[in-house]
Amino acid sequence: MGRLFTQLSIVLLILGVCLLSWFGKVEPPNRLQLVKQRDKLVVLTHFGASTFYRSTEGPGGLEYDLAKRFADRLGVELVMAVADNPDELKLQLETGAADLAATGIAATPLRRQRFAFATAYLQVRPQLIYRAGSTRPDGLADTLEGSLAVLAGTRQEWLLSRRRAEIRRLRWTTLTDATTEDLLYRVWSRRLDYALVASNKFTLSRNFYPELRVAKDIAKPQGLAWMFRRDGDTSLLEAANQFFADLRASGELGRLIEQYYGHLDKFDYVGTRVYMRHITDRLPLYKGIFQEAASEHQLDWRLLAAMGYQESHWDPGAVSPTGVRGIMMLTRLTARAIGIDDRLDAEQSIRGGAIYLKRMLSRIPENIPQPQRTWFALAAYNVGLGHVTDAQAITKMQDADPSSWAAVRTRLPLLTQKRWYKRVKYGYARGWQPVHYVENVRKYYRLLVRITEPAIHDAQRVKAGTALIERTSPFYLRSAAQSLY
């Protein structure tokens, strides 16, 4: 009995040693596997028009849209975690509290020493900003007699540090608890003479501060990219790189960038000032009608109002040389088809515009996702659905994506060329006209969203209302908002 017990003990000991040896060889899950095991992707970001915001339509921002697609690809839930400052963001990333940082950040050499970066998805330039009416600086050396500021933890701050050896008297203020919006507002309100910001963020804000100008790009473009921990585990980073490669190959990356930046290529200083004045003077007269008509047809009233401004500057008595009339500039045939008797009656015109836009939206193929379906519908509202369909056909002939607004808008002007319009069903059209129409409506719409939902652009997330707008926006934007509340 004793011998049997001894033999059994030896066998158990050997089995134990084998099991310990086997478990020792089992590698712990890598970061990609951990993300999938916990069924969550935690992405660090900060609030901003170019990164992440919340609106009545849900979350938005280019970084959010990219992160959401990446999480969907991994089959996990997306959790957006907002870091208050660059130091907190870096600490959370290094301690593993988050999986990656998506803040529209550039991969500077200093950052690469500490973190790993995915493939760049957008090229941006550091720009020196000043206010019109001041002397335009030719470079950083011309800022020595004025006040210059930059945001902490940005590529712009790093560039200034590098230039200090070259320009010994170069001085600047680093703002730690601020946003690009705050920085631009200080220049606009003359509390600062100059600011150094990323080109993409200035592009998103320039319509809100029409007196601001770009003096000069002070360095070569650099790519924005997602940031990861640098600890040897590249599994999640490699998955992100493949994600961006596929997104670029499919055209989806280009469509997303166009969605946020494609309508901001051109800037009209005078037009922006006039629009702000009309928001205060005219829009309150018709806001209720826009809201009722939009609600009846499940539309955003601000989009309908933006269309009305593009059509007539909210003038109910407007008449074009071609005979279209009213706030929504309806043709006689269109008005008759949708049951409108008096095109010069503001209420009838706005309701007619809502009906017609809804009709165009219903005829856009369902495979085209929002918001691009809306851009196609706006183009159809302006030039007719047949011509939009023709432009899609030309797009397909040129081996581009006919469901991409970015692709189709570059082909619409081809409808003025005989060699192209002879090959499509509806023939000649002033194809440049719907392109400008859609771009302008998108700009007007975005400004209305900014005014009616100021919290989208407020990094501090203070209480919404005119007090918030007074803290972050120019006087004409304040008065416009106050007239709409």
pLDDT, one tens digit per residue, over 257-286 is 877 776 555 545 546 677 888 888 899 999
Per-residue confidence (pLDDT) for residue 285, from 0 to 100: 93
Per-residue confidence (pLDDT) for residue 104, from 0 to 100: 85
Instruction: Choose the final residue of a domain: 203, 233, 263.
Output: 263
Output the DSSP codes for 440-457.
Answer: HHHHHHHHHHHHH-GGGG
Report pTM: 0.58
Q: How far apart are CA 263 and CA 21, in angstroms?
A: 62
pLDDT, one tens digit per residue, over 172-222 is 999 887 778 778 888 988 889 999 999 888 887 776 677 888 999 988 888
Q: How far apart are CA 412 and CA 391, in angstroms?
A: 5
Note whether residue 485 is domain-resident.
Answer: no
Mean pLDDT of the chain: 82
* Pair (289, 152) in one structural domain: no
Q: Which domain holds residue 374?
A: 269-479
CA atoms within 13 A on the CB side of 208: 31
pLDDT, one tens digit per residue, over 372-401 is 999 999 999 988 899 999 999 999 999 999
* Pair (153, 190) in one structural domain: yes
* Pair (155, 136) in one structural domain: yes
Note whether residue 15 is domain-resident.
Answer: no
Note whether residue 11 is domain-resident.
Answer: no
* Pair (61, 145) in one structural domain: no
Give the CA distances from residue 412 to residues 85, 375, 380, 436, in Å, rounded to whole numbers and listed in that order.
44, 13, 11, 11
Per-residue confidence (pLDDT) for residue 169, from 0 to 100: 87
| Percentage of residues in the chain having pLDDT higher than 90 | 36
Q: How far apart are the first and last CA of the chain?
A: 92
Contact 175, 152 (CB under 8 A): yes
Peptide bond into 371 cis (omega under 30): yes
Q: Quick one: CA torsion of 249, 255, 256, 257, rounded to 10 degrees? A: 100
Query: For residue 365, what are the contacts with CB-CB under 8 A and spacing of at least 6?
Result: 403
pLDDT, one tens digit per residue, over 294-312 is 999 999 999 999 999 989 8
Note whether residue 26 is domain-resident.
Answer: no
* Pair (42, 81) in one structural domain: yes
Per-residue confidence (pLDDT) for residue 8, from 0 to 100: 54
Give the closest residue to 460 by CA, choosing from 80, 178, 197, 175: 178
Contact 234, 116 (CB under 8 A): yes
* Angle between helices 269-281 and 475-484 in degrees, nearest 10: 30
* Pair (325, 459) in one structural domain: yes
- The two tokens of residue 272 are 């922006």
Q: How many domains does the chain have?
A: 3
User: Per this entry, what is the length of the chain?
Assistant: 485
Note whether residue 212 is domain-resident.
Answer: yes
Per-residue confidence (pLDDT) for residue 144, from 0 to 100: 86
* Pair (316, 194) in one structural domain: no
Note whether residue 244 is domain-resident.
Answer: yes
Residue at token pair 């280009």: 254
Phi, psi (deg, nearest 5) at residue 392:
-65, -40
* Pair (258, 277) in one structural domain: no
Active site residues: 311
User: Higher pLDDT residue, 135 or 60?
Assistant: 135
